[in-house]
Structure 1
Amino acid sequence: MRIRTTATVLTSTVVVSALALPGAAQAAQHPGATTPLGAFASAGFEPQDALGGTTFSDGVVNGGKDIVLGVTGKKAVPVTFSAFDKEGVALTQAFLWQGTDSSSTDTITGGLQSDDDPVCTESPAEDGWNYSCKTVFTIDPATAFKDDNGTAGTWKLFLGAYDLYANASYDDDVTRTHIKRAAKLTANASPEPVKKGKTITVTGKLSRANWTTGKYAGYSTQPVKLQFRKKGSSTYTTVKTVKTNSTGNLSTTVKATSDGYYRFAFAGTTTGSATATGDFIDVK
C-alpha cells in the first residue's frame, strides 16, 4: 500500500478547462508508469512516458521531524513541496513509499490512502510557472501498519505531475522521512527518604508500540541513560547507561548524594525517543 494523494492544480491557462479532469483522477496511476493516468485517458489524451518538464524541490514531510506513531489515534502529517514547469501543471501526485522500485507494489510496504488533496498556488516565473504545494497525509497506525511492524524506518517522498499537454514527470526520492514506533519510559527511585551515602535503586520500563497487536510491549536489550538533576537545577546529567532486560525492565543502583530527580532517557532507533518523568529523592 502507498500513502498517496492526487489533485488537480487550478490555473488560468485555458488548456486546463479543456481537460475537465474527472473524479477518476483521485485513483490515478503514478506518472512513472507507461499506461496513462485515468484522468487523461478518459479525457482523450495520450500522455508520454515521463517526458514532461516538471521539476520538484523543497519537499518537506512533517516539518522535517520524524513521524512517531502509537497504537491508536490518527496523525496528520503535513507535506509541502515546490514544482516548476514551463508549460504549467494540470495534475500533481504525492505519496510516501518504501522499497527499491516505486512502480512496483511488491516493494512498497505500509501506507494509507489520503483523503486530502494537494493545494497548489501558482505564480509566474521568467520562463514558466512556479507552484507552492501542500497536502496532508492522515495516518492511522491501527489500519496502515497493522500487519507489519517492520515498516518502521526510512520512507521516500514520491512527487509526480502532468503538464498541460499531458506529459508526465516524476521524482520518486524528493526527500526522505522516518516513520517510528512510539515509546514509553518510566522511572521510580527508592527508598525515599534516604540517608546520604546509602544506596538508591532506580527501576523503570521501556515499552514501544506494537502495531500488529495494538498494544505496547517491553523493548528488550536497549541502552538507556540514567540521569540526575540536583534540586534547584534545571539540567540533567547522565550518571550511567544501563540496558533493558528481555521484557524491557530496567534496574540499577546509585549512591544517594543530594536531593534531586532521577529519570531514564532513551535516544531511540526505528523506535521514537522517550524520557521518563523525573522521580524526586529526599536525601537526609
Structure 2
Amino acid sequence: MRMRATLGVLTGALALSVVAVPAAQADEIEGDTTISNISVNGGKSVVVGASATKTITISFTVKDNSGVEDAMALPFRGTDLDHADSAALPNTDDYYSTCTAVNSTTANCKATYDFTPGENAINSVAGGWKLWILASGKDGDFVQKDNAKSFNVQRLSKLTVNASPEPVKKGATLTVTGKLTRANWDAAKYSGYSGQSVKLQYRKSGTSTYTTLKTIKTNTYGDLKTTVTASADGYYRYSFAGTTTTPAVSAAGDYVDVQ
C-alpha cells in the first residue's frame, strides 16, 4: 500500500499527518528492504537567511529483492514525527521521493525540500533536526526509520570588523569594532547575536595565517569592541566558531598600515 501525507499549518509551524503506514513511534522492519547512502544537503548544515527560501536535496538508496515500490523522506524538528514542531515536505506532487532504478533490486531516491523563514523556519526550531524515512518493496516488505539521519538547520550569520585609526603609528592603540548578527526568521531581518564568544585575530602582512590575539563577547546588540597595540602592517578580523543554531563565520580582514 502506498504512503499518503497531508500538510497543515498550525501557529506558524508545520503539522504532518502520515496515514496508511505504521505509526511513527519506533523503527520497524518487515522483510529485506534496506535504506543506505543517506545524504541531507550534501552533508552540510541547512543554513537559511533572513527572508529567502532555502531549497535542499535529500537522497538515499533503497534495496529490496523484489524491487523497490516507493519511498518517502520527511525532515522534522521534534522528539518524533507525531509530535513535530516543524517539518518540510518533498516538492513532489504526491510527497514521494523520486526513485530511479539502478537494477532490478535497487533504486536511488531523492527529492527537494524548502525551508522558508516565517513558515517552517522560525527561530524556535533552529538547531538539530531528524529525518524520518519509509521505503517499501514490491512484495510488501518495508523499512521505517524514525531518525535515519540527524542534521542542523541554522540561522545564517554575518560578522563585520573595523580597525581604527588608519594609518596608525607603531606602538599606538588600535580600536577594533565589529558586529555579529544572524537571521531572525520571525522578523525577516538580521539581529544582533548577544553573549557570544568571538576571537580577534591578526595576520601580519605577507603571511597567510591568522593568530588569535584575544577572545571577547558580544554585547546585547551583538556589538564587539576591544583595543590592541599596533605592531606591524597587517589584517585584523573577528572570527566566530558557531553554535548548533548558527554557523561559523569570519569577517573579511581589515588592513591596517602601521607607520
Range class of TM-score, shorter chain: 0.7 to 0.9
| 1:131 aligned residue | 107
Amino acid of the residue matched to residue 120 of structure 2? A
The answer as to 2:85 corresponding to 1:109 is yes
| 2:120 aligned residue | 144
The Cα shift of 1:169 comes to 2.5
Amino acid of the residue matched to residue 257 of structure 2? D
The Cα shift of 1:213 comes to 1.2
Aligned residue pairs total 241
Amino acid of the residue matched to residue 195 of structure 1? K
Change (3 A) 1:175 1:112: closer
Moved more, 108-117 or 132-141: 108-117
* Identical-pair percentage: 43
Q: Which has the higher helix share?
A: 1
Q: Which has the higher strand share?
A: 2
- RMSD value, Cα: 2.2
Moved more, 81-90 or 258-267: 81-90
| 2:54 aligned residue | 75
Moved more, 79-88 or 200-209: 79-88
Q: Distance in 2 between matches of 1:255 and 1:50?
A: 64
| 2:45 aligned residue | 66
Amino acid of the residue matched to residue 180 of structure 1? Q
The answer as to 2:163 corresponding to 1:202 is no
The answer as to 2:225 corresponding to 1:235 is no
1:281 pairs, out of 252, 256, 259, with 256
Return 5+ residue gaps in structure 2 as ranges. 7-17
Native 8 Å contact 2:35 2:135 kept in 1: no
Q: Distance in 1 between matches of 2:121 and 2:242?
A: 19
Change (3 A) 1:135 1:113: closer
Larger Rg, first or second structure (1 or 2): 1
Change (3 A) 1:52 1:33: farther
The answer as to 2:247 corresponding to 1:272 is yes
The Cα shift of 1:25 comes to 4.8
Q: Distance in 2 between matches of 1:31 and 1:91?
A: 12
| 1:16 aligned residue | none
Q: TM-score with structure 2 length normalisation?
A: 0.85
Q: TM-score with structure 1 length normalisation?
A: 0.78
| 2:9 aligned residue | none
The answer as to 2:136 corresponding to 1:162 is yes
The answer as to 2:47 corresponding to 1:57 is no
Q: Distance in 2 between matches of 1:111 and 1:158?
A: 10
Return 5+ residue gaps in structure 1 as ranges. 1-18, 35-48
Q: Distance in 2 between matches of 1:259 and 1:196?
A: 9
Native 8 Å contact 1:32 1:168 kept in 2: no
The Cα shift of 1:26 comes to 6.3
The answer as to 2:12 corresponding to 1:33 is no
Native 8 Å contact 1:31 1:162 kept in 2: no
Amino acid of the residue matched to residue 133 of structure 1? C
SS of residue matched to 2:62: strand
Q: Distance in 1 between matches of 2:121 and 2:99?
A: 29
